[in-house]
Amino acid sequence: MGALVLKILIVDDQEICRIVLKVALKDIGNECIEAENGEQAIALFKEHSPDLVLLDVVMPVMDGFATAPVIKELAGKNHTPIIFLTSNNAKDALKECLACGGDDFLQKPVDTSILVSKIKAHMRTKSLMNELQDKTKELEVLHETLRQEHETGQHVLSHSLSRNLSDCKNVRSYIASQSTFNGDICLFARKPFGGLYIFLGDLTGHGLAAAIGTIPLSQVFFTMTRKGKPAASIVREMNRSLRNFVPRSMFCAAGFIELDASGERARVWLGGLPACYHVNAYEGKCNEVLSKHLPLGILENEAFNASMDDIDFHQGDSLLLMTDGIPESTNSTDEMFGMDRVAQCVSREQTDVFEEMLSQYHSFVEDAPQQDDVSLLEVMAYKPEADDILMNDVSMFPWKTSLMFNEEFLRKDLNIASEVFYLLPDRPEFAVHQETIATVLTELFCNALDHGILQLCSSLKQDAEGFENYYLMRAERLTALSEASIEIKLEYGLDEPRVLDIEIIDSGAGFDISGITERPFDDHAPSFHGRGLKLVESLCRKVRFNDKGNSVRASIRLA
């Protein structure tokens, strides 16, 4: 047994038997605990938690058959071997020993050499069981960590797709992930002047590693489609962003479809995906649009080809786009679906190519395990409705509006830029300059609130401590604020075409702006204040204060 000291509980109503066993076991270095019956044994087991129990069958008060199940229940997940000691060699009695929770048995009188051998064997088993329990606990911790990481990953990925258009009337999609995370990505966005952008991508591999690669693609897609950029420019930027974001071993087979505002023309870019099919209802045939480019993320942008195929699109036409998950899927006999079956599906004379493809695919794979992410898109020709056009029917005639914020609103200290931006027309002119407009609004509004209304002095922010004191004082004065207001006036194109004028007027006593506007501005000088107005001046055509200092007007060209 080596240096290992075992704690052994001996349960027998005959003292001589307990003494013999105790002497034999102590001689080899074990610690022994004695009990005369099952009731004592249970109490001592709770107190000492022994490693092994030697249990007599026939005892007063509580016999071994009644004691064993209780001890096993007390041991719980810990493996505590019970060796029955019995003078009864009847088969039924021995079977009962094992049935009630015993792990082994020995005939009385006990041969101590055999007993020691059995104890060693059971301790090896116990050691293995303990090791297994430790490994199980480690796996449980790893599983919980993995669950939390998956939960975080799902949240991040869901957020990255939160701007995805969910009500495309002319697009049908089937998306089946091979695992929790999808390495295929489907993106949709309306064009600002009418029309639609559609992107389908298949990242290398599947699962979380592939899904992470969808993040830069979705960021570029939503940023550039919002600005109404051409599809070729978007694809090129997606290639650059993906190449910079993921390892060289990863890339994205992709397809990009751009529908114009009339709904009668489509532009298609394919890189590494299976052929796209143009179902031409007018001519009654199906045309292949082959992939002519490498997947995204392989080539440097200088070598990247963003040229697109132009397709005449008529009422009743559709484009079928898929990832390789469909043609490369296999059935239970390891036969591949293949592009021949895909071509047969789209060439059959039926009214619904999309449903035919899905029906044939599911019939083929049946219950075979899915090996890859699967995505299928059908883009149908359509006549855009008013809701499908982002403010395209609103001409950019000159306009003006104003907003008044009282002390109740000012005390909330909200993000004024986000509140005001919702009032601006949803057009590319404003979307392109969103960051500039937001910066100017925020800086001028904060300037009016902090200096005009709250009468705070920027010179407090000379160092980190002063900076902290400044904002503590700001919070106190905001809480006590009463009878104050700030008005924002917005004018577009009144004085000059494509120029947005922002005027902010506060009800404060004004402040001396000469110290700020006349101070030299050093980009490299460490400073905690005084940079906001200089930043505004750099972004605007002109910035003008009134003499009192409680009104400022900034002009931004939206060219």
User: Based on the domain organization, do 453 and 547 belong to the same domain?
Assistant: yes
Q: Is residue 141 part of a domain?
A: no
Is 248 within 8 Å of 285 (Cβ atoms)? no
Number of separate domains in the chain: 3
Residue 483 has pLDDT above 50, yes or no: yes
Q: Is residue 139 part of a domain?
A: no
356/457 same-domain check: no
User: HEC string of 223-254?
Assistant: HHHHCCCCHHHHHHHHHHHHHHHCCCCCCEEE
Ranges 187-196, 277-286, 361-370, 456-465, most confident:
361-370
Query: 54: which 2 tokens?
Result: 């030697």
Tell me, yes or no, whether 242 lies in a domain: yes
Identify whether residues 338 and 462 lie together within a single domain: no
Can you say whether the dihedral through the CA atoms of 197, 202, 207, 212 is positive or negative? negative
CATH of the domain at 460: 3.30.565.10
Residue 182 has pLDDT above 80, yes or no: no
Q: Residue 351's pLDDT is what?
A: 67
Q: Is the pLDDT of residue 140 over 50?
A: yes
Is 241 found in the same domain as 96? no
- Dihedral angle over CA of 63, 65, 68, 73, nearest 10: -110
Same domain, 248 and 103: no
The verdict on 72 and 99 lying in the same domain is yes
**Domain CATH code at residue 94:** 3.40.50.2300
Distances in whole angstroms, Cα of residue 264 to Cα of each of 56, 151, 193, 471: 92, 42, 15, 57
Measured CA distances, 61 to 12, 39, 66, 67, 365 (Å): 12, 7, 10, 10, 66
464 and 384 in a common domain: no
Same domain, 41 and 169: no
| Domain identity same for 96 and 20 | yes
Higher pLDDT, 387 or 302: 302
Residue with the bigger pLDDT between 100 and 394: it is 100
Mean per-residue pLDDT, 406-416: 86
Residue 35 lies in a domain: yes
Question: Could you list the residue range(s) of the whole structural domain that residue 127 is in?
Answer: 7-132
Residues 435 and 483 grouped into a single domain: yes
Determine the average pLDDT of the residues in 11-15: 93
Flag whether pLDDT at 266 surpasses 70.
Answer: yes
Q: What is the pLDDT of residues 347-392, one digit of tens each?
A: 876 668 899 999 999 999 888 888 888 899 999 887 766 455 444 4
Q: Whole-angstrom Cα distance, residue 477 to residue 482?
A: 10
